[in-house]
Amino acid sequence: MTTKVAVMGSGNIGTDLMIKILRLSDSLEIAAMAGIDPDSDGLARARRLNVATTHEGVDGLVDMAEFADVSLVFDATSAGAHRRHDEVLRRLGRTVVDLTPAALGPYVVPPVNGDAHLNAPNVNMVTCGGQATVPIVAAVAAVAPVHYAEIVASISARSAGPGTRANLDEFTETTSSALEQVGGAARGKAIIVLNSAEPPLVMRDTVHCLVGDCDDAAVTASVEEMAARVQTYVPGYRLKQKVQFERVAIDSPLRSLLPAAFRSGQAAKVSVFLEVEGAAHYLPAYAGNLDIMTSAALRTAERMAAHRTTKVVSP
């Protein structure tokens, strides 16, 4: 039994997601793609793949005959547009998996809290930086309290389309919030870098966690186990080197980041360096930032569909 879905947004993310559903999913069936640019490559590609399309956005989507059978909609548009999309789709009883930084629904990062919101009407996939780094912060937090987490996501400028560039403020805010709410850090900070290097570089992420002290071996094992879990749905996700540890004196720049109990002596700074190479289903392999978002959204939707199917068939 498959669950019929629709994709809103015919840009890079929406098109890659459509192709992933067609190639990789046994439980999801794409019924339609909606965009607003009639000449977009995404809509043209969808038509070649026999996917019904509309260039009239959410209004066109809900008027399509195919929409009647759709129970879940992926929104790969923009944070601003998502607010109206959610209002329309929620009123019509459709579940929404949100790939924008709008964050109207709860954050979902599959290996951390993938089963926590299976009945939610709207779930948010955070950001590409969040999907790459929140699992690492959560892995450290599982072993030692993380008082401060700071991440830097560096992506190729070529893989940052108009939607990404329009949402940079939302990116930092949403990612920082997810580091705290899902990753477990007491405080979080996110930075994004658009790297214009040629040839384009694959996505790189740096994660720094400040803890009072920790068992280095336990933290390393937790981080490596988490990375392996992400690799089950993002094969190009990998640690660039061993987890790094540094004992630092609690001087004035760090003092405000730690609770009072740790404002003397030393703290441990845990640093993790990641690389995310894309599967190149639609865009080049350097666009790992897009690949990890669409892969996480696909994994989340499949879990939600399986959960709801089980509820329907259970006595």
Check if 128 is active-site.
yes
The annotation status of 14 as a binding-site residue, yes or no, is no
Q: What are the strands, taking DSSP E only, across the chain? A: 3-8, 28-34, 52-54, 72-75, 95-98, 122-124, 146-156, 188-195, 203-211, 237-239, 244-249, 266-276
Q: Are 4 and 29 in contact (CB under 8 A)?
A: yes
The annotation status of 12 as a binding-site residue, yes or no, is yes
The annotation status of 162 as a binding-site residue, yes or no, is yes
DSSP string, 109-146: -HHHHTTS-TT-SEEE---HHHHHHHHHHHHHHTTS-E
CA distance 94 to 88: 9
* Residue 194, strand partner residues: 155
SS3 237: strand
The annotation status of 113 as a binding-site residue, yes or no, is no
128, 190, 227, 274: the active-site residue: 128
The annotation status of 167 as a binding-site residue, yes or no, is yes
The annotation status of 3 as a binding-site residue, yes or no, is no
The annotation status of 13 as a binding-site residue, yes or no, is yes
Which residue's structure tokens are 């339609």? 32
* Residue 190, strand partner residues: 151
The annotation status of 289 as a binding-site residue, yes or no, is yes
The annotation status of 10 as a binding-site residue, yes or no, is yes
- Residues forming the annotated binding site for NAD(+)? 10-13, 159-167, 289
Residues contributing to the annotated binding site = 10-13, 159-167, 289
Annotated active-site positions, please? 128
